[in-house]
Amino acid sequence: MSATQPPVAYQPDILGAGYEQAALHFPDDYEGKVIATLVRKKAPQSASKAVLYIHGFIDYFFQTEMAEQFNQHGFDFYALDLRKYGRSILPHQKYYNIREIAEYDAEITQALEIIGAEGHDSVLLCGHSTGGLTTTLYAAHHPNHPLIKALWVNSPFYDFNMNPIKRKLGLPGLSRIGKIFPDLQFPSELNKWYTASLHKDLKGEWDFSLDWKKTAYPKVRLSFVSAIFEAQKEIHQGIKIDVPVLVMHSHQTKNPRKWGKDAQTSDVILGVKDIQKYAKKIQGDVTVQSIQNGLHDLVLSQKPVRDSVYQQLFQWLADKGL
């Protein structure tokens, strides 16, 4: 923390015992006041290593099992609800409304400063989906970082999952339009079964806010399409990361029309071949692991699947000295 930043004031979090949250404040943007929210769950014993987790699109932090797995392995756990998501959405804001991915650097940087000030000397930076894209670029743009010692990305959003012709011919035009008319909306084409496959009141086993992680999001603002497209271009050109990187993805992508096994054993959001393709373009110590029957958010998969995720993750961390 900088000398001018006051000590962080944590409050009890909505997730219950052991979870705390603190609001992080930033200069106003094009919509007005901006905050992000840092959630913390400390390990039972004093820890010098920590995790900072970044969620995906139409998402927020609620994956308590993941936090507790890290705690059990000696990590203090931190997660951000980014600006305009979840705990951080303010009444005057449009959900997820950004112009470029780099806007998130402010909260990631401030969170890392806080984690360092709270007695940690090493951080595993991790992100899911859009958070995986964001953290990959953050790690690439901050070489020799004093805290970041490794990067774990869970189904990172390295490319749009769409018809290759539409992707090649349509996306550049949509991105240009999005810079001029940011609030125009375009069909999202998100599979309707994804959130349903997760929530305990629908067809899954997890409890989370359906206001903050909605069952359907039929349209997306072009400002977001543009921000993602520009960020992905950098990934596609090839980046260099100076810490070990673990990229995980499901073994298959499906787009089920009806509820069934595919919705429970596949990534129904992103193309796993795209993740593989662009993970291989990252220069550095990169490990790519395919998870049999994984969902898009691998840690929300069925129990035998997520047990495998954690086993492979913590083995990799041990191999890298973390």
Neighbouring CB atoms inside 10 A of 119's CB total 11
Instruction: Give the range among 182-191, 225-234, 247-256 with minimum mean pLDDT.
Output: 182-191
d(CA 58, CA 140): 24
pLDDT digits (tens, 9 = 90+) for 182-197: 999 988 888 999 999 9
Topology of domain 11-163+224-319, CATH: Rossmann fold (3.40.50)
d(CA 173, CA 211): 31
Structure tokens at 7: 């000590």
pLDDT at 272 over 50: yes
pLDDT at 202 over 80: yes
83 contacts: CB under 8 Å, gap ≥ 6: 26, 34, 35, 36, 93, 98, 103, 104, 107
Average pLDDT over residues 264-287: 97
d(CA 322, CA 319): 8
pLDDT of residue 6: 61
Neighbouring CB atoms inside 10 A of 257's CB total 10
Distances (CA, A) of 80 to 17, 24, 64, 137, 266: 18, 10, 13, 16, 26
Element (H, E) at 81: strand 75-81
Average pLDDT over residues 104-129: 98
Element (H, E) at 153: strand 148-154
Average pLDDT over residues 235-255: 97
At 24, is the pLDDT very low, low, confident or very high (cuts 50, 70, 90)? very high
Structure tokens at 19: 């979870």
d(CA 187, CA 217): 9
d(CA 171, CA 224): 12
Nearest CA among 66, 1, 6 for reference residue 39? 66
48 contacts: CB under 8 Å, gap ≥ 6: 119, 120, 121, 122
pLDDT of residue 1: 45
| Residue-range domain boundaries for the chain | 11-163+224-319
How many H helices and E strands in the chain?
10, 11
pLDDT digits (tens, 9 = 90+) for 87-113: 999 999 999 999 999 999 999 999 999
pLDDT of residue 3: 41
Structure tokens at 322: 């973390």
pLDDT of residue 104: 98
Which residues face 79 on adjacent strands? 39, 53
- pTM listed for this prediction: 0.96
d(CA 54, CA 300): 15
Three-state secondary-structure class, residue 105: helix
Establish how many alpha carbons lie within 13 A of residue 127's alpha carbon, considering only the half-sphere containing its beta carbon: 25
